[in-house]
Amino acid sequence: MTTTYTRSTFGKSNMFAPALPSAWQRIQQDPILFIAQWLYAHRPLSTISQPASTTSKSASTIPVRVICISDTHNEQPHVPNGDILIHAGDLTVNGTFEELQLQLDWLNSLPHQHKVVIAGNHDLLLDQSFFRRNPRLASRENDERRLRDLRWGSVVYLENELRVLNVRDRDVKVYGSPMTPKYGNWAFQYQAKDTWSNTVPEATDILVTHGPAKGHLDSSSANPSYLQGCAHLQRELWRVKPRLHVCGHIHSGRGVECSDWGWLQWDYDAVCCGEEGRVVVLRMLACWVWLWVLCMLGRAANGRTMTSVNAAVVGEGLAEGEQTLLVDLR
């Protein structure tokens, strides 16, 4: 699995790019998390092996090109061609019929063989329960009849369901869910309870969620200690172990990351979920040293891997041509 992505850079500190905290400031704020994040960020990626393909030789020689975008918020960025286009939610700003239809018309104009979309917390019309909880906001312009009037065209909309896509005689199983932890009053949100356990089919190749998992592409360089992802989703990822996880929601977390499901990964996730302690960090350090030994010996760890993509488009000072994240799924 190869990944190509670009990210904008800033010059001097300004209101859009605040000064980054020093290492000492981060240690003072949360020393255990700082050490865990440092070890995880500096692990030798060359020891992470690529997953073996279960498809035939002819099908595996050509990778499936997955184009990832999210949080376009009414914007219509340039999107390169590929086999599968995934939009991980927040197509709109206010979630009106007009906004959604404009975004769907734009997506339908794109040449991709498969287009998969999930909703985000801003896409209010798609969550009729939001208006039942907020009757003062309900009107004829956002009722179920307007929802049924949406013209989806060739766009596949997933709301807590699995769809099998066929790409060059290869089946790719995609599961999509719009749910995110409650923050403010928006659509498709849940309280602190676990809504993820045993919900994603084990055969899922690509998991699309609006929000990220805890500790993975869910913070910013300006405040790395503020993790905004979901711990329950993180545990569900460990159970399912998909090949690719696409999300958005946390604009400042935009980027790409690779996971190998090893002990270092386990301990890092445990720290991110609040299981602090010297034992966890010491074990993580031992794993980190061992991985570097494997790296120097030219050996790769065996096992499955997952690529995580936070494909948020709006924000982070992104310029034209920098919005799209591309993954080749072998």
Sign of the alpha-carbon torsion through 309, 312, 313, 316? negative
Per-residue model confidence (pLDDT) at position 43: 92
pTM: 0.88
Task: Report which of 192, 32, 183, 36 is spatially closest to residue 120, judged by C-alpha positions.
Answer: 183
**What is the tens place of the pLDDT at every residue in 45-96?**
766 655 444 444 455 568 999 999 999 999 999 999 999 999 999 999 999 9
pLDDT of residue 99 exceeding 50, the answer is: yes
Q: Which residues contact 225 (CB under 8 A, 6 or more apart)?
A: 26, 29, 30, 33, 34, 219
Per-residue model confidence (pLDDT) at position 49: 54
**What is the tens place of the pLDDT at every residue in 180-215?**
999 999 999 998 789 999 999 999 999 999 999 999
CB 52 within 8 A of CB 292: no
Per-residue model confidence (pLDDT) at position 71: 97
CB 256 within 8 A of CB 267: no
Just give the CATH number of 26-41+64-329: 3.60.21.10
pLDDT of residue 316 exceeding 60, the answer is: no
pLDDT of residue 3 exceeding 60, the answer is: no
pLDDT band at 306 (very low <50, low <70, confident <90, very high): very high
Q: What is residue 195's DSSP assignment?
A: -
Instruction: For residue 69, list its beta bridge partners.
Output: 87
CB 10 within 8 A of CB 2: no
Q: Where are the domains of the chain?
A: 26-41+64-329
Q: 283-305 burial, b if ≥16 CB within 10 A, otherwise e? A: bbeebbeebeeebeeeeebeeeb
CB 223 within 8 A of CB 262: no
**What is the tens place of the pLDDT at every residue in 100-127?**
999 999 999 999 999 999 999 999 999 9
**What is the tens place of the pLDDT at every residue in 249-265?**
999 999 999 999 999 99
CA-CA-CA-CA dihedral for 256, 261, 266, 271, to nearest 10? 10
Per-residue model confidence (pLDDT) at position 321: 45
Strand positions, DSSP E, 32-179: 64-69, 84-87, 114-117, 155-157, 161-167, 170-177
d(CA 74, CA 106): 10
